[in-house]
A = this chain, B = another copy of it.
Amino acid sequence: MNAAVLPNDLAPYMRQLGERARAAATLMAAASTAAKNQALLALARRLREAGPALQAANERDLQAASGLDAPMLDRLKLAPKVLATVAEGCEQIAAMPDPIGEISGVKRRPSGISVGQMRVPLGVFGMIYESRPNVTIEAASLAIKSGNACILRGGSEALHSNLALAALVAAALQEAGLPADGVQLVNTTDRAAVGLLIAMPEYVDVIIPRGGKGLIERISREARVPVIKHLDGNCHSYVDAEVDLELALKVVDNAKTQKYSPCNATESLLVHSKQAGAFLPRIAAIFAAKGVEMRGCLRTLALLPGAKPATEADWSEEYLAPIISVKVVDSLDEAIAHINRYGSHHTDAILTTNHPNAMRFLREVDSASVMVNASTRFADGFEYGLGAEIGISTDKFHARGPVGLEGLTSMKWLVLGQGEVRQ
């Protein structure tokens, strides 16, 4: 464990992390699949065997943070169950196919050369996250498998836990013959470290922030490198004019109430006017039984006297709570326009039996995930079969939606010749 960094030394310290990461990235990129998997399995074993030293570090963080609220302390605690889960995660990532080195699309050209693409790591990613020590291991394991180096900046309250975990990662990397600097942790609680980390394009290729919207907006504004960012999830479920009502009730209920806090929970319900009379009273009964507050447009209020009136602000709101906004629309066009205007381009679903409407919704709703007859809650790297998830992107550039190992890679061009020259 290094000594704490003094403010005057911060800039050189961050540059040093950057230089080490850049040097390690070359070795990580060239690492064999076997070595990367060995490091992941060694990390899983070391997490299971860590015992008292890790618990002592975590205890130190928990005592210093004792004034914080219960959910935050809960996320900070490295309970045995949390450790078992992250260790299992490492083993699952070891079992996944190696994304690096995949060669695709090789085609012969009229000139005689063959042209294709090879998947390679991005290089170095920086991750900025809250006081959740499990994210340290998740980020480290994704970095190892994808052949990237990374610099991790976790929340201040978790510093000692993170340092203890980072030591396990370093030991696992060395055990597999990989560079310990492949995964580095920023060893300071100085907030200025974040500003420096996001402004070193010579050392860091991409920044992945996790946390509140304010933090992510600030990082996006100030970063001098690309950011894979996840802003809010204002997701819609739209009940079309032609619909299986029972299916729609089941799916909308699940999309809203299966869990209120995730970003892929439905926050806004749109109902075609032809179905509003049949659908709204029945979903209202389900929501009432679960204590979900409905905030409706005027036509909704006419059908549901118990609902509250929605304000203009409600259409843009990500509640993350048992509240849902409800609007009656007269056409698919109106639904699509509403979603593209007020939504957050995260995940939106149509409930319909009409094929052309399903296809138009898929094409024209400008969101990272578009769904037909399924719960918005499915928008998730594991549910999509990515095997792991470093984040969910609400951007269109590079990776969109759930980001797995492939989101940490890029494709370079290969040219295979036999002495061809340009005419």
A101: B residues at CB distance < 8 A: 363
* Contact between chains at B113 and A374 (CB < 8 Å): yes
Per-position binary interface string of chain A over residues 344-365, scored 1 when its CB falls under 8 Å from any chain B CB and 0 otherwise: 0000010000000000001110
Q: A413 is contacted by which of B118, B370, B410 (Cβ under 8 Å)?
A: B370
8 A Cβ contacts from A370-423 to B: 370-375, 377-379, 383-385, 396-398, 400-402, 410-422
* Contact between chains at B419 and A372 (CB < 8 Å): no
Per-position binary interface string of chain A over residues 43-82, scored 1 when its CB falls under 8 Å from any chain B CB and 0 otherwise: 0000000000000000000000000000000000000000
* Contact between chains at A109 and B384 (CB < 8 Å): yes
* Contact between chains at B378 and A111 (CB < 8 Å): yes
* Contacts A363-B118, A384-B413, A402-B413 given; does A421 touch B370 at CB 8 Å: no
Q: A254 is contacted by which of B247, B372, B398, B422 (Cβ under 8 Å)?
A: B422
Kindly state whether residue A115 has any CB partner on chain B within 8 Å.
yes
A115: B residues at CB distance < 8 A: 383-385
**Nearest opposing residue in chain B for A409, CB measure:** B396
* Contact between chains at A250 and B415 (CB < 8 Å): no
A33: B residues at CB distance < 8 A: none
* Contact between chains at B413 and A401 (CB < 8 Å): yes
Cα(A419)–Cα(B243), bound, Å? 11
A255: B residues at CB distance < 8 A: 421
Cα(A226)–Cα(B229), bound, Å? 12
Kindly state whether residue A206 has any CB partner on chain B within 8 Å.
yes
A334: B residues at CB distance < 8 A: none
Kindly state whether residue A30 has any CB partner on chain B within 8 Å.
yes
* Contacts A226-B226, A258-B422, A363-B101 given; does A400 touch B375 at CB 8 Å: no
Shortest CB distance A148–B (Å):
11
Cα(A255)–Cα(B346), bound, Å? 46
**Nearest opposing residue in chain B for A103, CB measure:** B362
**Nearest opposing residue in chain B for A374, CB measure:** B417
Shortest CB distance A22–B (Å):
10
* Contact between chains at B109 and A422 (CB < 8 Å): no
Kindly state whether residue A251 has any CB partner on chain B within 8 Å.
yes
Kindly state whether residue A107 has any CB partner on chain B within 8 Å.
yes
What is the oligomeric copy number? 2
Shortest CB distance A372–B (Å):
5
Kindly state whether residue A369 has any CB partner on chain B within 8 Å.
yes
Kindly state whether residue A224 has any CB partner on chain B within 8 Å.
yes
Cα(A109)–Cα(B333), bound, Å? 30
Shortest CB distance A400–B (Å):
5
A234: B residues at CB distance < 8 A: none
Shortest CB distance A160–B (Å):
34
Cα(A389)–Cα(B374), bound, Å? 39
Kindly state whether residue A221 has any CB partner on chain B within 8 Å.
yes
Kindly state whether residue A197 has any CB partner on chain B within 8 Å.
no
Per-position binary interface string of chain A over residues 308-339, scored 1 when its CB falls under 8 Å from any chain B CB and 0 otherwise: 00000000000000000000000000000000
Kindly state whether residue A120 has any CB partner on chain B within 8 Å.
yes
* Contact between chains at A374 and B414 (CB < 8 Å): no
**Nearest opposing residue in chain B for A101, CB measure:** B363
A–B pairs, 23, beta carbons within 8 Å: A29-B363, A109-B384, A113-B378, A118-B370, A122-B396, A123-B366, A221-B224, A251-B419, A254-B421, A368-B413, A370-B413, A370-B414, A370-B415, A371-B416, A372-B415, A373-B418, A374-B419, A375-B421, A379-B415, A384-B413, A397-B397, A398-B398, A398-B410
In the complex, besides A111-B378, A244-B419, A370-B413, 13 extra interface pairs with C-beta distance below 8 angstroms are A26-B340, A26-B364, A205-B396, A206-B397, A226-B398, A247-B419, A253-B421, A369-B415, A370-B414, A371-B414, A371-B416, A375-B422, A398-B410
